[in-house]
Amino acid sequence: MSVDVISSQGEPILQLKEIRKSFDRHGARLERSMVLKDVECFIHRAEVVGLIGGSGTGKSTLARLIMGLERQDCGSILFEGRDLEQVTARERQAMRRFMQMVFQDPYDSLAQGLTVEEIVAEPLIIHRIHRYDRKKRRELVEDALAEVALAPSSLFINRYPHELSGGQRQRVALARALILRPRLIIADEPTSMLDVSLRLELIDLMKRLRERHGIAYLYITHDLALAHRFCDRLLVLSEGRIVEQGLANEVIERPRHPYTRALMQAAMRFMPAIQSSNPVELTAK
Ligand SMILES: Nc1ncnc2c1ncn2[C@@H]1O[C@H](COP(=O)(O)OP(=O)(O)O)[C@@H](O)[C@H]1O
Ligand SMILES: [Mg+2]
C-alpha cells in the first residue's frame, strides 16, 4: 500500500501526544531520569511505522506505554481516536483486544509449560471469547497457525516451545497476537534473535499479514536494512526524543539529523548494501 493511500485514511489508528516518562534512578530516590520527552507520533490504519534508535533510547518504554504495561507521567495515547485514560477499565480492556505485542526474545516470551495450542488460545481465554467452546478455540488456533505458515497445524499444536526453533517460536508469538484479529501489532525487535534468513522470512510474513488483514505495525528495530524493507515511515528516537521522521526511503537514503546519519554510518560499517539505491534487493541475498 502506498503511503499516500495510508495518509489519506483520516483518523490515525494510534496517536501519541506529548508523552513524557521518567523512572527513578537506581540508588537515588530523589532523582528521576527522563526517558521519553514530549514524544508525538501517529500510525495510520495498515501503515508500518518503524521506530529506530540505539539501545537505551526509550523504544521499549514507548512500546510498553502503548500496551498499558507502564503508565506515562503525562501526555495521552489515543487508539482509534479514544484516549486510553479517559475510558472505563472495561472499555480499555475491549480496546486492548485490537492491539497486540510481539516481543524480542521468543525463548523468553512464550510460557514454557504450555503447548502451542494453549499459548495461542490464551488471548481468547483472557478476553472471554468462546469461553465454553474448546472446539471453536481449537479451530481459531489452527487458522492462526496457518496464517503464520506453521502447517499442517497438527504438527505443531501439541508441541512445547522448547521443541521449536527460534523462527518457529516467533511465528507462534505472531499467531498468538493474530488470534484476536488485531488492528495494530507492536513488534519490539522481533527479529533480533533470529538468523538473517529467518529475519527476512518473518518480515515478509508480517508484510503479507498487513496486506491480507490491513494490520498496522509499530516495528521497533535497530536493523536499518529490515526497516527499509518493511516500513512505510520511520521515527528516529534519540535520548527519548523523536529527532527525525519521514518516509522510510527518504530517511534512509537522505538522513537529515546528525543522529540518523550516525546510525546510518554505523549500519553501513556492517552492511555496505544499505548504501545502494536498492538495498532491498541486496540485503535479500
Ligand atoms: N522499569 C524501569 N526502571 C528504571 N529505568 C528503566 C526502566 N525501564 C527502562 N528504563 C531505562 O530507560 C531507558 C530506556 O530503556 P528502553 O526503553 O528499554 O530502551 P530501548 O528499548 O531503546 O533499548 C534506559 O536507560 C533504561 O535503563
Ligand atoms: Mg528495547
pLDDT for residue 112 is more than 60: yes
Q: What is the pLDDT of residues 36-87, one digit of tens each?
A: 999 999 999 999 999 999 999 999 999 999 999 999 999 999 999 999 999 9
Between 111-120, 189-198, 204-213, the lowest mean confidence (pLDDT) is in: 189-198
Which atom number of ligand 1 is nearest to the Cα of residue 26?
A: 4
CB distance 168 to 176 below 8 Å: no
Tracing cell 495498515 back to the chain, one arrives at 46
Q: What is the mean pLDDT of the segment spanning 130-158?
A: 95
Q: How remote is the CA of residue 58 from the centroid of ligand 1, in Å?
A: 6
Q: Please tell me the distance from the alpha carbon of residue 27 to that of residue 9, in angstroms, as a whole number.
A: 47
- Which pLDDT score is estimated for 223? 87
Residues with Cβ–ion distance below 5 A, ligand 2 = 59-60
Q: Please tell me the distance from the alpha carbon of residue 191 to that of residue 231, in angstroms, as a whole number.
A: 14
- Which pLDDT score is estimated for 25? 79
**At 185, which helix (H) or strand (E)?**
strand 184-188
Q: How remote is the CA of residue 77 from the centroid of ligand 2, in Å?
A: 20
Q: Please tell me the distance from the alpha carbon of residue 3 to that of residue 44, in angstroms, as a whole number.
A: 9
Q: Please tell me the distance from the alpha carbon of residue 265 to that of residue 273, in angstroms, as a whole number.
A: 12
Q: Please tell me the distance from the alpha carbon of residue 187 to that of residue 208, in angstroms, as a whole number.
A: 15
Q: What is the pLDDT of residues 242-277, one digit of tens each?
A: 999 999 999 999 999 999 999 988 887 766 555 444
Please name which of 62, 17, 9, 70 lies closest in space to residue 35, comparing C-alpha atoms.
Answer: 62
Q: How far is CA 129 from CA 97, 114, 122, 134, 180, in A?
A: 11, 19, 10, 10, 9
Determine the residue type at 182. P
Q: How remote is the CA of residue 152 from the centroid of ligand 2, in Å?
A: 33
Residue 188: φ, ψ to 5°: -95, 100
